[in-house]
Amino acid sequence: MTPETELRRLKDVLALQQSDVEVVGVDQGADIAASLRAAGLGFIVDGLALMDVTEDEIAKAQIRHHPRLSDLLWHSSSLLKPTHPSMFRSEFVYRAHCRELLDRVAAGTPTEYGTAAEVCLAVLAVATVTPINTAAMGLHLRMWKLAGLPALGGPGENLPHYEAIAGSKIDDLETTARKKLRVEDRVLGDIRCCGQHNGVHVRCEYASVSRIAAA
Distance in Å, CB of 63 to Zn ion, minimum? 18
From the CB of 207, what's the least distance to Zn ion, in Å? 6
The pairing of beta strand 196-197 with beta strand 200-201: antiparallel
CB of 4 to Zn ion, least distance (A): 49
Q: Does 212 bind Zn ion (CB under 5 A)?
A: no
Q: Which stretch binds Zn ion (CB under 5 A): 39-47, 58-66, 92-100, 199-207?
A: 199-207
CA distance 67 to 49: 26
Q: Which stretch, 8-16, 82-90, 153-161, 185-193, contacts Zn ion (CB under 5 A)?
A: 185-193
Dihedral sign (CA 42, 48, 50, 56): negative
Reference 117, options 149, 85, 139; nearest CA is 149
- Provide the b/e sequence for 92-106 (b: ≥16 CB within 10 Å): bbbbbbbbbbbbbbb
Q: What share of the chain is helix, strand, coil (3-state, %, to 5)?
A: 65, 5, 30
Task: Please tell me the count of residues contacting Zn ion according to CB under 5 A.
Answer: 3
Q: Could you give the CA distance from residue 149 to residue 38 in angstroms, rounded to a whole number? A: 15
Write each residue from 153 to 172 as x if it is in contact with Zn ion (CB under 5 A), else as -, in one continuous string.
--------------------
Region binding Zn ion by CB under 5 A among candidate stretches 59-67, 144-152, 178-186, 202-210: 202-210
Query: At a CB cut-off of 8 Å and minimum separation 6, what does 158 contact?
Result: 1, 6, 141
How far apart are CB 204 and Zn ion at their closest, in Å?
3
Does 194 bind Zn ion (CB under 5 A)? Our answer is: no
The answer to the question of residue 204 lying near Zn ion (CB under 5 A) is yes
Taking contact as CB under 5 A, which single stretch among the options 99-107, 121-129, 176-184, 189-197 is the one that binds Zn ion?
Answer: 189-197
Shortest reach from residue 56's CB to Zn ion, in Å: 18
Q: How many CB atoms lie within 10 A of CB 20?
A: 16
- The least distance separating Zn ion from the CB of residue 205, rounded to whole angstroms, comes to 7
Rule CB under 5 A: choose which of 49, 159, 193, 212 binds Zn ion.
193
Distances (CA, A) of 20 to 3, 12, 24, 86: 26, 12, 6, 13
- Sites of contact with Zn ion (CB under 5 A): 193, 204, 206
